[in-house]
Structure 1
Amino acid sequence: MNYNTPSEGFNKLYDIIKQLRSPDGCPWDRKQTPDSIKENIIEEAYECIDAIIEDDTSHVCEELGDLYLLATFTSIMYEEDGKFSIDAVFKGISDKLIRRHPHVFADAVADSSEEVVHQWEEIKQNVEGRVHDNSVLDSVPKHFPPLLKAQKLQKKAVKSGFDWNQIDDVILKLDEEIHEFKEAVAAEDKSEIEAELGDILFTIVNIARFLSVDPSTALSKTNTKFTNRFQYIEQKIKQSNQVMKETPLEKLEELWQEAKLQKEPD
């Protein structure tokens, strides 16, 4: 059979995973559980993000395949345990998409993305019953990566009216947190240093949110920039038959400034 349509392609993937999980299949695949592969889901998601940022379409295609594999693999494991079927997964997300887009599939009206988001939140609360009695922050997953969790917490708080009036106020807050951090460093108080550093990071995420900048993307680009500049220094030192550990700090700083003048790769 030629697997040309999405449904045929999925059926092929499903059949392969079922065979791998069968008694005559692969010992490694048979022993996996949802708990054992949960970290793989995170890793593959980040690898897919990297491919998207790098605009490497063939790599994006490959990484999306890995994500589909893990989603299907996990669904099959729950299906084998009789918890839910893979059809229930697709039915659930299909029903949710239709339910949350009444401006497309029903008679509701939403002329802007802002109206769509507002309508989405109302449906989650009033139709799906996703009301959190204790706090609006209860819906933020506990095990999100810290940077992403900080973003989500702040966005939820803002929807309740808890926000700064202007960016200058947030920057003043950052200055305040840095001052408190310096005091903790001067006091050599390890626990306070950790606490104040956390406050600084949280405030920086808030600044990014206020300016509509994704902090993860910003940090990722800086990581790439640092990597390129550091590797430039490594190359220069190697060409001089020197060792970085034995290179004077002044020389490293000179090379760093030189690296900053180089054109960044696309």
Structure 2
Amino acid sequence: MDDLLNIMELLRSPQGCPWDREQTHQSIRNNLLEEAYEAAEAIDTNDARLLREELGDVLLQVVLHSRLEEEKGGFRFSDVVDGIARKLVLRHPHVFGDCTVQNSEEVLSNWEAIKKQEKGRNTDTQVLQGVSKALPSLMRAQKISKKAAKAEGKPQVLSEAVDSLLEDAKELALSADSGQTEEQRKKLGRLLFSVAEVSGILKIEAEQALSEACDRFILQFEEREKQSAGVEPLIEK
């Protein structure tokens, strides 16, 4: 770890790399997202060698952002490590304290309660607002839907959610010829939110399901293209 920190310090120095010296939090924001997605792809493909490499790239982003802050007199990498270590201890009172839990559900419930207290969120609306807007929209919708149902204390019923989804699809179809683009945008958004809600009830990650659907579509498209290329034109006799 010290080697990596020293390398980053050198890269950011006047004797280092011009590209590294030019970077800001904003300029490399998308790099962090890209590296995280590439690590996720390594997990999806069960490629341990690639995962090791991609986790290194994610760690590089953490080190670079930390270095940028340290140069401004802000936090250091050690502060990042200290912060997450303290958070893990605080949010696992059943391991580091005298709290007892029976199962994973109680662990997650305690985690959310402690997090809510940490963040100073006094209302359930604030909890929903705390779901990051930078998340992919389907993922964000799924988290918001789940948290809202929990806050309201009512179970999410699959049949009711599917009925709502079908009604939203019907409303979108009816508005197709209205020419009211903004209204159609709202109805489409509502439909996608309903899809995310159904995904949550089924305990299926909507983002992953859609990604897999994209892969299947490409394979089917390729098959149709091959079939089309293999069809000889009809010749009239």
| Separation (CA, whole Å) in 1 of partners of 2:53 and 2:226 | 31
| Separation (CA, whole Å) in 2 of partners of 1:145 and 1:77 | 26
- Is the contact made by 1:132 and 1:138 (CA closer than 8 Å) also made in structure 2? no
| Separation (CA, whole Å) in 2 of partners of 1:70 and 1:39 | 10
Is 1:97 aligned with 2:88? yes
Question: Identity over the aligned pairs, expressed in percent?
Answer: 37
Q: 1:143-162: per-residue Cα shift (whole Å, max 9, x none)?
A: 32212211221122122126
Alignment partner for residue 61 of structure 2, among 66, 70, 75? 70
Report which structure shows greater RCO (CA 8 Å, sep ≥6): 2
- Is the contact made by 2:158 and 2:198 (CA closer than 8 Å) also made in structure 1? yes
Residue 236 to residue 57, structure 1, CA distance change in 2 (3 Å): farther
| Separation (CA, whole Å) in 1 of partners of 2:145 and 2:215 | 27
Is 1:124 aligned with 2:122? no
List aligned pairs for 1:26-65, cutoff 5 A.
Answer: 26-65=17-56
Say how many residue pairs are matched: 232
| Separation (CA, whole Å) in 2 of partners of 1:142 and 1:206 | 17
In structure 2, runs of 5+ residues without a counterpart are none
List aligned pairs for 1:112-261, cutoff 5 A.
Answer: 112-126=103-117, 128-133=118-123, 135-161=126-152, 163=154, 165-237=156-228, 240=230
In structure 1, runs of 5+ residues without a counterpart are 1-9, 248-266
TM-score (norm 1): 0.81
SS for the counterpart of 1:71 is: helix
Residue 95 to residue 66, structure 1, CA distance change in 2 (3 Å): same
| Separation (CA, whole Å) in 2 of partners of 1:215 and 1:143 | 16
Deviation at 1:237, TM superposition (A): 4.6
Is 1:13 aligned with 2:31? no
